[in-house]
Chain A
C-alpha cells in the first residue's frame, strides 16, 4: 500500500544569478513497511528531496501524495501532518538543550495537545524499549552522539507516524554509534513495520535497505 510518493518533482535555486536545477522530474514511491535509502553525492539534492516529502519545503512543480491525498507544505494542515504522521531525524540531533531526554521525546505529543504527564509516561516507555531506560533524565549534553540520535529517533516515533524521514542520521557519528542507530531502525522496520526513508552517503549501510535509490543530476535511479 502506498504510504508517501513524490511525482515529477522539480526544484531549482537561484544562487547569485545562477539557476541551479537540483531536482529534475524526480519520482519516488514509498510503500508501507518499506525501508528506503537514498544515496548520492554531497550537494546533489537529497535533503531538498526529503524536505519536500516532509512538507517542509515546496517543489517548483510536481505533486506530493500522502496516503490517498495530494498535499503541500503550504496547506494549513501541513503542521498537523508533520506532527502526527511524519517523523523527522536530522544529521544534527536538534534536541532541546534545556529539556531531559524524556521531555524531548514527549514534545511532539505535547504539541499535539496531549497532557505533558501522559506524554512523558509514553516517552519513558518508548525510551525504555529503545534501550535508553537509564537515560530518561539526562540532558542532551550528557548523552553520547549515538544516544542523542536514538533519542531523536524516539522523538520521531512517539506519535506513531506513518513514516520516518531521516536525513543522514548517522552522518555525524563514529562507526560504532552509527551501527547502533542503523540496527535500531532496521529492528523497528522489521518488528513494527515502521516505514523509513533514510538519506545517507554510507553505501554499506544502505545495503540494509530493501530499496536503494541513487540521486544524480536531479534524477532518482533505483539501485536494488
Chain B
C-alpha cells in the first residue's frame, strides 16, 4: 500500500457510512452472504452426515473381525488363549467374543429377518453396545433378548413383550420339510444406534441361548475387536499385522473392508456439492462485477482527477479494490455465520427427517469443521477477488483526456 492507498483505506474505515454502505453494495453483499451461507450450510450438513455415518458405522461394527478361515467355531479354551495373545497388541482396546447368525423374528404372522448376536455375560469379556440401549438394560440372562428399535416397532413389540425367534435348523428336517427351532425370549432392552441397518435387524442374546439354538458345543463364531481411537483409521494396517502374526488359520477383516467404500462415496458427494455451490458464489460474483462497474462509473471524475494529479492506474485500482474488497470479505464472513445458523436450524427442525432406509441414518446433524471454513473462505475470497479485478482493468484503458472531455 502506498501513501494514497493507505489514506483512502483508513478514510473508508473512519466513515464507513459515507464510503462503504453504498446502494450498489447492498445487492453485492446480499448475494455473497446468501451464496456463501448456502455453500457453507451445505458443507456443514454434509460434513455432519459424513461424521455421524462414520460414527454409527464404527459404533455398530467392530473395527476388526477375527474368524477361523475354515468357518469353524472357536472352542472356549481357544478363545481365551487367542484373547490373551491379542491383548499384547497395544493398538487393541477391547476384544469381545461373539456368536452371530441370521434368524427370523416373529410376531404371529409378521416375520422379519434378523441378525442374532450372542455375547458372554459372565463378566469374562466386555461388551461395547451399552451406549445404544435406549430402553431397558444391556446385561442379559438366559431367556432375555435385546431388540433393534425399528425391528421392535415393525413387529409391534415393546419392552417386556415376548418375542419368538425362529432358526431353520438343518438337522431337524423331517418328511414334512424343514422343522425349524423356535425359542421364546422376553424383550428387556431396545437397541438404537441411529444406523438404520442395525436398528432394523439387531437381536442380542446370551451366548448360551445362541449356542443352544444352533445346538452346538460352547464356543464362539468370531472375535469382535475394538481398536484405540488413533488406530481406527489404520484398521487395515493393523489387520494385516495381526494376520501376519496369527497365520493363515485365522482371517482378520478390518471395518474398512465393509464400509470404507460407502464413506468414500459420501465424501465424494460432499465435495461435489461444494463444487456445485461454488457456482452460486460465482453468480454472486456477477453482482460484485456490477457493483465495481457502478463505482467506476460513479467515480469517473475522481479517477480523472487522481490521474491528472499524478497517481498511477495501479494505485487507483488498488484503492477501489480495497474499498470493495473490505465489504466483500465482511460479507463472506457474514455468509459463513449465516451458513452456521442455517445448518443449526436444519439440525434442530423437526419437519424434515432423513429416511433411514435410504440414507442409513435418520438424524441430520451439522458439523462446522475449521478446515472446511478455511476452504470456504479461501475459495469465496478468490472468486470475489477475481470478480473485483476483472472490471477494474478498464481503469488502465481510461485516458485522462477522454475522462475530462466527457464530463
Interface residues of A (CB under 8 A from B): 47, 51, 54, 56-57, 79-84, 88, 90, 92, 94-99, 103, 107-108, 110-116, 155
- Given the known A-B contacts A94-B304, A115-B3, are A56 and B401 also in contact in the complex, defined by CB atoms under 8 Å? yes
Distance between Cα atoms of A92 and B400 in the complex (Å): 15
Complex interface: chain A residues within 8 A of B306 (CB): 96, 107, 111
Selected from A79, A110, A112, A155, the residue in CB contact (under 8 A) with B7 is: A110
Point out the residues of chain B lying under 8 angstroms from A115, CB to CB: 3
Decide yes or no whether B305 CB sits under 8 A from chain A: yes
Contact B309 A56 (CB under 8 A): no
Residues A110 and B407 in contact, CB atoms below 8 Å apart = no
Residue of B nearest to A167 (CB): B404
For the complex, give the distance between the alpha carbons of A47 and B308 in Å.
14
> Could you tell me the distance in whole angstroms from the C-beta of B223 to the nearest C-beta in chain A?
75
Q: How would you classify the secondary structure of chain B's contact residues: helix, strand, loop or mixed?
A: helix
Q: Select which of B7, B11, B308 is within 8 A of A82 by beta carbon.
A: B308
Contacts of A82 in B (CB 8 A): 308-310
Q: Which residues of B contact A (CB under 8 A)?
A: 2-4, 6-7, 10-11, 18-19, 301-302, 304-312, 400-401, 404-405, 407
Number of A-B contacts (CB under 8 A): 66
> For A155, what are the chain B residues with a Cβ–Cβ distance below 8 Å?
309
Least CB distance from A45 to B in Å reads 13
| Minimum Cβ distance to chain A for residue B226 (Å) | 66
Within 8 Å by CB of A110, from B4, B308, B400, B401, lies: B4
Residue of B nearest to A111 (CB): B311
Contacts of A114 in B (CB 8 A): 3
| Known contacts A56-B404, A98-B11: A79-B3 contact under CB 8 Å | no
A112 to B310, CA, bound (A): 8
Inter-subunit contact B401/A111 (CB<8 Å): no
| Contact between A80 and B310, CB atoms less than 8 A apart | yes
Apart from A83-B310, A90-B404, list 4 A-B contacts with CB within 8 A.
Answer: A103-B7, A107-B4, A108-B309, A111-B309
B7/A56 in contact, CB under 8 A? no
Residues on the A chain within 8 Å of B305, using CB: 94-96
Task: Quote the shortest CB–CB distance from B324 to chain A (angstroms).
Answer: 14
A59 to chain B, nearest CB (A): 12
A95 to B6, CA, bound (A): 19
Does A98 lie within 8 Å of B309, measured CB to CB? no
Whether B404 contacts A79 by the Cβ 8 Å rule is no
| Chain A residues positioned under 8 Å from B400 (CB to CB) | 56
**B89 → A minimal CB distance (Å):** 69
Within the complex, what minimum Cβ distance (angstroms) separates B210 from chain A?
81
Chain A residues near B301 (CB-CB < 8 A): 92, 94
Query: Could you say which residues of chain B place their CB within 8 Å of the CB of A84?
Result: 310
In the assembled complex, which residues on chain B have CB atoms less than 8 Å from the CB atom of A79? 307, 310-312
Alpha-carbon separation in the docked complex, A95 to B309 (Å): 12
Beta-carbon contact of B407 and A98 below 8 Å: no
A–B Cβ pairs within 8 angstroms, 21 of them: A51-B401, A79-B307, A79-B312, A81-B310, A82-B308, A83-B310, A88-B308, A88-B309, A94-B301, A94-B302, A99-B11, A108-B310, A110-B4, A111-B3, A112-B310, A113-B3, A114-B3, A115-B3, A116-B6, A116-B10, A155-B309
Which B residues are CB-close (under 8 A) to A111?
A: 3-4, 306, 309-311
CA A39 – CA B407 in complex, angstroms?
21
A116-B3, A116-B6 known; A83 and B309 CB under 8 Å? yes
Q: How far is the CB of A166 from chain B (nearest CB, A)?
A: 13
Query: Which B residues touch A92, using CB under 8 A?
Result: 301, 407
Q: Judging by beta carbons under 8 Å apart, are B7 and A116 in contact?
A: yes
Would A110 and B3 count as touching, CB distance under 8 A? yes
Q: How far is the CA of A57 from the CA of B308 in the complex (A)?
A: 11
Query: In angstroms, how far is the closest chain A Cβ from the Cβ of B124?
Result: 80
Minimum CB–CB distance for A201 against chain B, Å: 18
Q: Identify the closest chain A residue to B298 (Cβ).
A: A97
Q: Most chain-B CB neighbours within 10 Å: which of A83, A97, A111?
A: A111
Query: Shortest beta-carbon distance, A20 to chain B, in Å?
Result: 14
Given that A94-B301, A115-B3 are contacting pairs, would A57 and B310 also be in contact in the complex, using a CB cutoff of 8 Å? no
A-B pairs, 3 with minimum CB distance: A83-B310, A79-B310, A116-B7
Complex-state Cα separation, A143 to B221, whole angstroms? 94
Interface centre among B7, B301, B302, B310 (most CB of A within 10 A): B310
Assembly CA distance A106 to B284 (angstroms) = 37
Contacts of B405 in A (CB 8 A): 47
User: Complex: how many Å from CA A95 to CA B19?
Assistant: 15
Contacts A92-B407, A111-B4, A116-B7 given; does A98 touch B308 at CB 8 Å: no
| Distance in angstroms between the alpha carbons of A97 and B18 in the assembled complex | 10
Q: Pick the residue among B2, B7, B309, B401 that contacts A57 (CB under 8 A).
A: B401
User: Within the assembled complex, what's the spacing in Å between the Cα atoms of A47 and B406?
Assistant: 13
Contact of A98 with B18 in the complex, beta carbons under 8 Å: yes
A114 shortest CB reach to chain B, Å = 7
Query: What separation, in Å, do the CA atoms of A90 and B310 have in the docked complex?
Result: 15
Taking CB atoms, residues of chain B closer than 8 Å to A116 are 3, 6-7, 10
